[in-house]
Amino acid sequence: MPYLYFDSAATAPPCMEALSAVTTAYEAYGNPSSLHAAGMQARRLVEDGRAGLARAFRCEPRELIFTSSGTESNNQALFGLAKLRGKRARTIISTNSEHPSVENPLRALEEQGFTVKRLSTAGGVLDYDGLKTALVQTPVAFVTMMQANNETGAVYDLPRVKRILEETGSDALLHCDAVQGFLKVEGDRLSACCDVVTLSAHKIGGVKGAGALYIGKRAHALPPLLLGGGQENGLRSGTENVAAIAAFGAAAAAASGRKDRLPYLASLREEVLRRLQDSGLLFHLPERHLPNILHLSIPGVPSSWALNFLSERGICVSAGSACSAREKKKGNPVLKAYGLPDQEIETSLRISFCEQNTMEECAVLCDALRDCAKLKR
């Protein structure tokens, strides 16, 4: 790599298996809907991709549809669930730290007359009692919450959310944005507790241009967002991105087959924490967290200074999510929701690891962060 890349939560480097799947797929250039040999060859790649993803996600291949991105999947899930459930109930429960591809559709649904209750996620802990109270107060159309936060790395307990839905007797459907959590949270089988789940290829070592939506039995009537030729079982029209789908399946299969992957990511995070113990940097450490995200503030050094300083040394990290990095907006609602004071928000950085990172790279990063702290205003 020409630079030290610590921004895998924005996009992870594609794995070898994904790159090789892309090359094969571009050679099989048929349209997967065509009935001739070239079409059938492309169709096989799409179905192999679906099978690979289904094994990694632990569901049936027919329960997955491919979209263009996590953003599209979230939009289809939210607008679809609102259409499906909106006649029965007009309340939606979510959290106050969702990704813009959930938060902005929620705002659009509020404009259409839905009420959205946003639960607290202070300190990276979901307000499970608040969820219980909200569910018994009023009929709820659906609940939508992320599995893991893209900025702080906080992980929420989706199986517990499902148990609360059952205990309160609510028939609300449950959607989860698992873009950051997929293949990074051990143990949680989301196909067993959620009705609809969003996945994205480029966060797990696939390539950009493919997302997926898991649609379980209770949500089988979820309507499409795009109308057209009826691809993906009528649920997502548009010619499939064969190469990105093939790479998605290959990356999911490869990642789920490497048992040492999560401990290795966690050891990189631990190494950075260990090296910076007495550095004066402030770490934001949710108790349940992803193994690959470390969020911190450098007192007195605005994020933009730190980004430039590190970038000049060839080190890539980020401040906030990549999607909103170019948006001029006041404050950071996700970090506010976590409970950080303004001065820590303005000086915050997100470091995110991938399997290609090494302990030596972590040492270089830590030296640079110590030097960066000397820029203090």
Q: Among all residues, which ones are annotated catalytic?
A: 323
Return the bridge partners of 65, or none. Answer: 213
Nearer of residues 52 and 211 to ligand PLP, judged by Cβ? 211
Piece of 70-78, 214-222, 258-266, 362-370 that binds ligand PLP (CB under 6 A): 70-78
- Backbone phi and psi for residue 110, each to the nearest 5 degrees, phi listed first: -60, -40
> How far apart, in whole angstroms, are the C-alpha atoms of residue 5 and residue 314?
8
> How far apart, in whole angstroms, are the C-alpha atoms of residue 39 and residue 32?
5
Closest by CA to 144, choosing from 124, 118, 125, is 118
Nearer of residues 76 and 321 to ligand PLP, judged by Cβ? 321
Rule CB under 6 A: say whether 333 interacts with ligand PLP: no
Closest by CA to 5, choosing from 369, 356, 244, 368, is 356
- Judged by CB under 6 A, the residue of 273, 323, 364, 375 near ligand PLP is 323
Min. distance of Cβ 148 from ligand PLP in angstroms? 7
Min. distance of Cβ 359 from ligand PLP in angstroms? 26
Pairing type for strands 211-215 and 293-297 reads unpaired
Rule CB under 6 A: say whether 347 interacts with ligand PLP: no
- Judged by CB under 6 A, the residue of 41, 97, 144, 180 near ligand PLP is 180
Rule CB under 6 A: say whether 241 interacts with ligand PLP: no
What is the x/- site pattern for ligand PLP, positions 90-119, by CB under 6 A? ---------x-x------------------
Pairing type for strands 115-119 and 91-95 reads parallel
- Backbone phi and psi for residue 275, each to the nearest 5 degrees, phi listed first: -65, -25
What is the x/- site pattern for ligand PLP, positions 201-240, by CB under 6 A? ----------x-----------------------------
Rule CB under 6 A: say whether 372 interacts with ligand PLP: no
What is the x/- site pattern for ligand PLP, positions 134-173, by CB under 6 A? ------------x---x-----------------------
Q: What is the 3-state secondary structure (H, E, C) of 305-365?
A: HHHHHHHHCCEECECCCHHHCCCCCCCCHHHHHHCCCHHHHCCEEEEECCCCCCHHHHHHH
Give the residues lining the site for ligand PLP (CB under 6 A): 69-71, 74, 99, 101, 146, 150, 177, 179-180, 200, 211, 321, 323
